Amino acid sequence: MSKNYKTAESVCKGHPDKLCDLIADSILDACLRKDKASRVACEVMATKGKIIVAGEITCSEKINIRLIVKNVLRKVGYNPRKFRVSVFVHHQSVDIASGVDTALEVRNGIIDPYGSIGAGDQGTVYGYATNETREKLPLPLLLSHRIVKRIDECREGKIIKGILPDGKAQVTIEYNGDKPICIKTVVVSVQHYKDKTMEKLESDILNNVLWQCFEDFPLDDDTEILINPSGRFVEGGPAADTGLTGRKIMVDTYGGLASHGGGALCGKDPTKVDRSGAYMARYIAKNIVWSGLADKCEVALSYAIGKANPVAVSVNSFGTGIISDEHLCEVVLETFNLRPAAIIEKLRLRNAIYSDTATYGHFNSCLFPWENVDFNLNLRKAAERYEDRKIED
């Protein structure tokens, strides 16, 4: 065993980048409520006094994008009257649409209902799970999400007065090998009114946020706690820092403590495997860990645009699997249908659920279908069958 440190961050819903993610996914939800077959690739930029929405949106009914943006701004805690909203959207490219609507397999004469939809883009997506927490997520990320969610609750519920929507948190944990030992450092930065003193802010965050967030993994006398280490944080949000969709992908996924293919998740309809594939990979990894086949697992799925079947699948158990990674991969291929149409059906991805994923991580709620562990017994049985066949051979 060796001592090591792992760090992850999360941000409040009023952080400029997260604000953009929330707007993009709220637009996606509005499209799906009108037309479940909507194609959306929505990008948002937020800067001082301006919100710019751009991208490709194909929906059978008209969506009032400006109204959606203003509603999100109001909900997050910004005054929508202080922002000018500009919208530049057009329909999905005919070339891309044709590849998605008729997968390569169908064009080659293979008739399969789940092969009808081709992947909306190329690339590799990753799913990860670890048994170090009940949620099967890395502990530093889980605690960071917990902190910023509590800060938002305290601001919205007026439990803490004098704070504003922008903020972030970061947690560093000391590990002995893979086992978390103690909290090394907690960093919290919260936007505040100019008459809020640092002493009062520190007291409010300690008493109303941190003690509650660390009840099950307590802080100790050696924990370094840094609250607004830069000092004054009055000017924040888009006025101080331009926000963009997809710039917090590590916050969205695994805090940088697992691989990431690079594609953002927010603002994309489920034909885009950046999103649906990432959800499926997480679903598989979590079920593998829950089933006891591994203590830690990373699943990689690679796709080609316009093709239904993935071009590559791999599983990495980091040496914790009870069977080899090669055998785990065979079990995954036997158990799961990895084509986009099947993923969309299995995880119910045509439903308008995406604005709920835009803040505090895409894998941090048991209400998300990809967080279910309903396939863990199927995996165990498939692994047993595989081992039986291996013995017979």
Locus of tokens 């009257």: 81
Q: Shortest CA distance to 140 belongs to which of 184, 109, 171?
A: 171
Instruction: Determine whether domain 3-11+137-236 maps to CATH 3.30.300.10.
Output: yes
Is 287 in contact with 375 (CB distance < 8 Å)? Answer: yes
Q: Cα–Cα distance between 152 and 155 in angstroms, integer?
A: 5
Is 276 in contact with 343 (CB distance < 8 Å)? Answer: yes
pLDDT value of position 117: 86
**Can 16-112 and 123-133+247-255+271-392 be said to share one CATH topology?**
yes
pLDDT value of position 389: 66
pLDDT in tens, the chain (393 residues): 689 999 999 999 999 999 999 999 999 999 999 999 999 999 999 999 999 999 999 999 999 999 999 999 999 999 999 999 999 999 988 877 777 777 777 777 776 777 778 888 899 999 999 999 999 999 999 999 999 999 999 999 999 999 999 999 999 999 999 999 999 999 999 999 999 999 999 999 999 999 999 999 999 999 999 999 999 999 999 999 999 999 999 999 999 999 999 899 999 999 999 999 999 999 999 999 999 999 999 999 999 999 999 999 999 999 999 999 999 999 999 999 999 999 999 999 999 999 999 999 999 899 999 999 999 998 998 888 877 666 555
pLDDT value of position 379: 92
pLDDT value of position 393: 56
Which pTM value belongs to this model?
0.95
Assign domain 123-133+247-255+271-392 one CATH number from 3.30.70.260, 3.30.300.10, 1.25.40.10, 3.40.605.10.
3.30.300.10
pLDDT value of position 1: 67
pLDDT value of position 119: 87
pLDDT value of position 384: 87
Q: Cα–Cα distance between 360 and 254 in angstroms, integer?
A: 11
Query: How many helices (H) and strands (E) are present in the chain, helices listed first?
Result: 12, 11
Domain range annotation of the chain: 3-11+137-236, 16-112, 123-133+247-255+271-392
Three-state secondary structure call for residue 292: coil
The conformational region for residue 213 under phi > 0 = left, psi -120 to 50 = alpha, else beta, is: alpha
Q: Shortest CA distance to 81 belongs to which of 66, 92, 94, 101?
A: 66
CA 113 to chain centre: 29
Q: Shortest CA distance to 245 belongs to which of 354, 387, 368?
A: 354
Q: Which amino acid is at 30?
A: A
pLDDT value of position 388: 66
Q: Report the CATH number of the 16-112 domain.
A: 3.30.300.10
Three-state secondary structure call for residue 163: strand
Q: Cα–Cα distance between 344 and 276 in angstroms, integer?
A: 7
